[in-house]
Structure 1
């Protein structure tokens, strides 16, 4: 008991007064025995901030006030409140227990006066106690009662000792999570050098994980809101100003701990909501259910100032809304990041922990969710944490949260638990229930927070219900990390991948854009060409990339298993085609070696992924898989059809092509089946493709996927016929832009085909052709196609001279064919380039190439260029 009094005294000296509240529950089992109070309970559990007393027993009619303040004033206040609230009708005895140390005497005159007026008997020498007085009562107890008190003290101090040991070992405890980050690096799930942050999400995470440091940014934003100007505009329109002093909520006392910060946020948010409600009447944003309507005598003023007021009001409203969002993020307890596979969720959280959290010393537990599969339900998260040898010996999850909450308040930063990839946990239905229980416990503790990542489709199918109304107010959800990436960040990410995988390459603009906007393909591309110098890359063909990647991955298996790997993938394809289910298939009937292969491919999460189980009793315990990347799935299904079925199962091939128009994989499957059939000279599949009713549409859509090695003179003839066919403007534009981007004249299909065709057109035909190229669907204004021509010439004019010349003769010649249909300024700027560089070999070749153009307008452009050369 002396130890407990000493620890309270030390904690109070450090400003940690929450131990006084803990003392109430700590002392109940002891007082129940020592004071013979069988029904003693905490009155604050019955009613928050119960007056005068903390503990009470209706049976023995005994009440006890617990305090660390031993002063006469504190005792007097307690007695006065006891009488004020007429507690004498419920209790005959009142004790004041000082958990530190009572005064020697209580002779204050004011205290004596209150004692004399008290409705019950109270003797300061007998009713004001500390641990010494309590121990004297122990002499009157039986051995059994003493043993009961002793067991209680041993258990409670064992918890305290474990907590103290945990604080001593906190760095070692946190180091375990840092080791898990290193494991993620070794498995290449986290590649630090290719991480490019999404700055907006990182900023949001600062408010969430370190609010006591970053709350000042909220104050800065508050100071920037110009409510005075907005009120000045209202005054001009003879309207009442919006009440609310923003200065007051930016000059609040500096918070010293997380408790004070929370109170500060509540005060700020309440003020912001009030102002926001008033400003919303004059804003174009937010809820438009109620908009400002002036009285008749003010309508004239309103007409004059309405635009200015609504513009300013919209700005103020949006600023207030953003601030409320930041405060909401700072107060949130659950930060959820969802997105498709390969979008960088693991990289995001690992970088966050390794760099930002480490720099700010934010205590963090990192849990790769797949590791939870090593623990039995229904409390896998708690079991995982307890398995850390530095974790405290806490019997329940609430005990753990209580400890983490205290550590957080002591270090003035939330204690953050990070679980990456919750979709990777087996028995998802059971884990959903576990999360709900886990969140229920977590949300009771002020300063413990959690960050979760999950694949979008799993979240929608399995986890969305967990974050319903019960936890909605605690949640902040980032739905797509990559959607928030700027173009410059995408470029940096591409450069980082090439640098990390030591790839030397010169990417064309097309190839560059292709990789920047498909992160899974970028990862596959990088793994294939790791450590290689691949030179100039004009185009990237997905089918080639997929085939090379699959070959590489199969070769990583031991030689005897390689054929088994391919056949395991074929078996998945066969089941998908047979069951006409392309979302997921069960691996229940796969043998042990096949399942091992599948599990290894799932761990990499590039080829295969574990899938959301089907609903119903029949699916319990059955594992389902699918392909991670839909286009890779379509490629593999086509590859299986061409390589495995077309040789000896022609009837099955024809049956597939008869059914595919109704399948969701139709376009992707057709594309790769057609391309692979051409590469592998598979006559049955090629015949089935070309016999399709909509083969022409497929052919046009798949032109960009025909690599140079499979292009033929027949393709050239088809393309030339489409250019001559005026029946559909869409097809003509589709083929024209495909050719326009094909600058390599060594390929059969290239930009020269387009130039040769347009050179044969007279002015009327040329205008019609250019209009078809630049016309966009849904554009009902006849002249808007000229705007598109003008925009193309504007982009051309912004290029450096070297880049212009680098476009090649056919492309530069097309610029001259387009110029007559652009606006004057861009046309003249383009012609000026040709005039100034007409003596260079490249531009000279362009002028000679256009000399035979049938268009009079093009000939006029050539004369204008030549005239400039003739003038002195």
Structure 2
């Protein structure tokens, strides 16, 4: 390019910049004026011969009168888009007021739009004449046209340098503009990825029940410009005036109310101003917490208020009210502080066990919450990062999925996202689901550290991560501690944040999605509501089925049905191989006595393919944290996703295969099993399966163990009707009639009380028959043991009888009669042992029902 072409090109780009500033200012967007300072610095440094020109606001916040300054040439420059004489007058006056002539002997004003044709204001002329340095409006007030004229005085190298700078800046601007114009198209890639998750059933939107507390936290994290107002509302609701009223009554100095100032701060215009505002509020809250702490049960106990002798009486009178109210204020302030911290943080981490809803949470977040609030975001299923080489697989994934194809490094990418966030006034969120699913964990840990280090340098970019607990604790924790600890907010267990209502809704939505028609007993319903993996397995087994009333859930039966179903899904040639591969895992676990994880080293190709398919579903098998040490390099470890499924499979293999082929090994297992961590689970399923499959060697080994009685009672709930025998009746009756051990009697009594299906051999009638033989003294003793607390507070057993009867009375008439005659008869046996109110109310209820077939 010739010199003339370079000059024309540079002039055109400067003219474009001036035009864009005009347009932005007309729209009320003045942030570009600040951007202009850095944009113009390299150009003005060359044209005005200021080798050390720098942004004075970076040297000192809110530097007065001038924006740029060079200590070497002693030239200063004010950058403005306001060309008026009043702006010039203000600049001159400030320059003089702050004695900037001591540092600079030249002042320029650069108008980034277009200067006036002339400046003839008498006041301005007077200010210029009073200035300690020379200032001529015709030569010291410049705009882009003046700058272009000055380019003629530069050598070719300087002109080329300016042109390269302008070209680079506008290339970035054009890329940003292109990205913003196509943001909807880019973010449609997110929806494509979400649809992929739906097809693989990793995300089932219809069965997602949000955890409201976690969702609330995410709102502050991902959309603080909208939800910061709720922080203000929460601050206004803190009842500090009432606490001060109580303190006045106790003759104690009231707490200074500085919360009002924290809610009347200036409304932020952008995310940067919001961060400053939040920091100010956080400081105010910390100050007020320190003042409230002495009057709170939750503050620093060492600083609790202690009155002087003359005020001790007042304090004693009002102490409880003050501390109760002060504790409420303190907890409210703590909660608001946490919300502010979440709004300020950079990393939102969700961890938990496999199958606890992490993928559902993050996919719903992207598909619904982010889309509704137009939060710019990228969704990355971490397992797909395995398709890209390290050490930049995240960047490669993003650039290869139409998100930002033209960037070549993280900082270009983050600059782009930061600019988008600035324009949207919402953080740009990168969501990575299941970071434990990346194959090269060690390599990814290092990459994630670099990724986060770069990300934290950009104010407006955030990241959401999900990870299995054990992987995070063993592999990723060091990434955050201590370098990124201050940037991190962690949710350790989504399930713990679910209310009982949400769990109930989750069960219903699962049944609806899998088109299952069923009714559950209260115990069966509770069983499924509190075990997400079991719920998923149950629904997959019964998809599209009409299964009627479910009185009990037997895990062993569910596990067996599920494994059979999964094996049936393999091609015919692989079905037997699939079972053999699972047996091989069990063999290795039992041989190595290692039940947490095993290496897949030594599995042939077909076995490895089967294992890979099962690992991909993350229900039966899962990848494990690799062992450390040279010997384990390159080896992949796996385990069973669900510990109880592992115990069942180990027992199933032992009963169905090993007991038939190797009696000696089977006997050897039961000789040392009591020392294993899987002892209880393995014993439970081995005994049940041995009875079900008629495996005498395993059944005899179980019954010969020293603690068989304890195992037997602990696992009564697994005795399904098809394996119940007269021997079981004898065992249970013996406990009811002769046990002096409270916990044994309680286990049997409550097991039978809940067994209302008279088709089962073991049911509530056994308990009723026993109770009916007792005289008053023995009856009282029996019920005192049955209703005694697990902690031994036997004196309260009558209260528990009363509570049970109160719950009974609260049921609908239909449900009461549906309990069955034996249960109703047993309830009448409870009545004499309840308190008077519950006793009379229950008897009145039976009187109302005396003409029904069940009661009469």
- The normalised TM-score by structure 1 is 0.91
Q: In the aligned structure 2, how far is the partner of 1:56 from the partner of 1:156?
A: 22
Aligned partners of 2:669 and 2:636: how far apart in 1?
26
Contact 1:678 1:710 in 2 (8 A): yes
**In 2, Cα distance between equivalents of 1:832 and 1:18:** 76
Q: Which runs of 5+ in 1 are unaligned?
A: 845-872
8 Å Cα contact 1:401-1:448 kept in structure 2: yes
Residue 286 (structure 1) aligns with? 299
CA contact (8 A) 2:211 2:497 kept: yes
Shift of 1:60: 5.3
> Which of 763-772 and 709-718 deviates more?
763-772
Corresponding position of 2:827: 815
CA displacement at 1:546 relative to structure 2: 0.6
Q: Could you say which residue in structure 1 is the equivalent of 2:324? A: 311
Report how far residue 728 of structure 1 moved: 1.6
Q: What is the alpha-carbon distance in structure 2 between the residues aligned to residue 53 and residue 219 of structure 1?
A: 36
* Alignment partner, residue 847 of structure 1: none
Map Cα deviations across residues 1-32 of structure 1 (whole Å, 9 max, x no partner).
21122222322333333333333333344345
Q: CA deviation at 1:666?
A: 0.9
Match of 1:832 in 2: 844
Aligned 8 A contact 2:189 2:402 in 1: no
Q: Where does residue 763 of structure 2 map in the other structure? A: 750
1:478: how far off? 1.9
In 2, the alpha carbon distance for the partners of 1:764 and 1:218 equals 62
Residue of structure 2 in register with 1:859 after alignment: none
Answer yes or no: is 1:517 the counterpart of 2:517.
no
TM-superposed CA distance for 1:252, in Å, is 4.4
Question: How far, CA to CA, are the matches of 2:399 and 2:334 in structure 1?
Answer: 41
Q: Secondary structure at the match of 2:380?
A: strand
Shift of 1:516: 0.8
1:182, distance to aligned residue in structure 2 (A):
1.3
| Equivalent position of 1:540 in the other structure | 553
Report what 2:589 is aligned to.
Answer: 576
- Please say if residues 162 and 392 of structure 1, whose CA atoms lie closer than 8 Å, have aligned partners that are also in contact: no
Spell out the pairing of 1:637-676 with structure 2 (5 A cutoff): 637-676=650-689
* SS of equivalent residue, structure 1 residue 285: coil
Q: For residue 558 of structure 1, report the CA deviation from its aligned partner.
A: 0.9
Q: Which residue of 2 aligns with 1:137?
A: 150
Q: Counterparts of 1:92 and 1:592 in 2: how far apart (Å)?
A: 80
Question: In 2, are the aligned partners of 1:568 and 1:594 still within 8 Å (CA)?
Answer: yes
Matched, 1:221 2:263: no
Q: Is the 8 A contact 1:786 1:821 kept in 2?
A: yes
Q: CA deviation at 1:283?
A: 1.4
What is the rounded CA distance, in whole Å, between the counterparts of 1:77 and 1:438 in structure 2? 45
Determine which of 454, 461, 464 is the counterpart of 2:477.
Answer: 464
Is the 8 Å Cα contact of residues 165 and 392 (structure 1) preserved in structure 2? no
The more displaced of 718-727 and 41-50 is 41-50
**Aligned equivalents of 2:838, 2:568: Cα separation in 1:** 55
Q: Is the 8 A contact 1:44 1:54 kept in 2?
A: yes
Q: What are the residue-to-residue correspondences of 1:590-629 with 2, within 5 Å? A: 590-629=603-642
Report how far residue 245 of structure 1 moved: 5.0
Other-structure match for 2:796:
784
Shift of 1:118: 5.6
Question: Per-residue displacement from partner, 1:198-224 (whole Å, max 9, x unpaired)?
Answer: 222222222222233333333333333
Equivalent of 2:181 in 145, 152, 168: 168
Measure, in 1, the Cα distance between the counterparts of 2:148 and 2:388.
46
Q: What is the aligned partner in structure 1 of residue 810 from structure 2?
A: 798
Match of 2:8 in 1: none
Residues 58-457 of structure 1 aligned to structure 2 (within 5 Å): 62-72=75-85, 74-75=87-88, 94-108=107-121, 111-112=124-125, 122-244=135-257, 246-389=259-402, 391=404, 393-457=406-470
Moved more, 71-80 or 281-290: 71-80
Find the residue that maps to 2:467 and give its secondary structure.
Answer: strand
- Is the deviation greater in 435-444 or in 505-514? 435-444
Q: Which moved more, 1:9-18 or 1:728-737?
A: 9-18
CA-to-aligned-CA distance 1:423-452 (integer Å, 9 cap, x gap): 212222222232233223333333322222
Could you give the per-residue CA deviations for residues 70-120 of structure 1, whole angstroms, max 9, x where no partner exists? 345555665666667776676665544333223334455555556556666
How far has the Cα of 1:739 moved from its partner? 1.3
Distance 1:478 1:97, change over 3 A: same
- Is it true that 1:734 corresponds to 2:750 in the alignment? no
| Superposed displacement of residue 406, structure 1 | 2.8
Count the aligned residue pairs. 843
Q: Secondary structure at the match of 1:265?
A: helix
User: What SS is found at the alignment partner of 1:188?
Assistant: coil
**CA distance in structure 1 between the partners assigned to 2:682 and 2:234 by the alignment:** 52
1:495 matched to 2:471? The reply is no
Q: In structure 2, what is the Cα distance between the partners aligned to 1:138 and 1:815?
A: 100
Partner of 1:702: 715
Structure 1 counterpart of 2:699: 686
Q: 5+ residue gaps in structure 2?
A: 1-13
Indicate how the Cα distance of structure 1 residues 356 and 455 shifts in structure 2: closer, same or farther if over 3 A, else same: same
Deviation readout 1:715-739 (Å, 9 max, x if unpaired): 1112222222224221121111111
Q: Choose 451-460 or 165-174, whichever is displaced more.
A: 451-460
Describe the SS at the equivalent of 2:257: coil
CA contact (8 A) 1:159 1:393 kept: no
Per-residue deviation, residues 505-540 of structure 1 (Å, max 9, x unmatched): 121111111111111100000000000111111111
Change (3 A) 1:393 1:28: farther
Q: Could you tell me how far apart the structure 2 residues matched to 1:37 and 1:376 are?
A: 46
Q: Secondary structure at the match of 2:628?
A: coil
Shift of 1:298: 1.6
Instruction: Answer yes or no: is 1:505 the counterpart of 2:518.
Output: yes
Larger deviation: 831-840 or 502-511?
A: 831-840
> Partners in 2 of 1:822 and 1:267 — Cα distance?
59
Distance in 2 between residues matched to 1:41 and 1:248, nearest whole Å: 36
Alpha-carbon contact 2:77-2:109 (below 8 Å) kept: yes
* Counterpart position of 1:717: 730
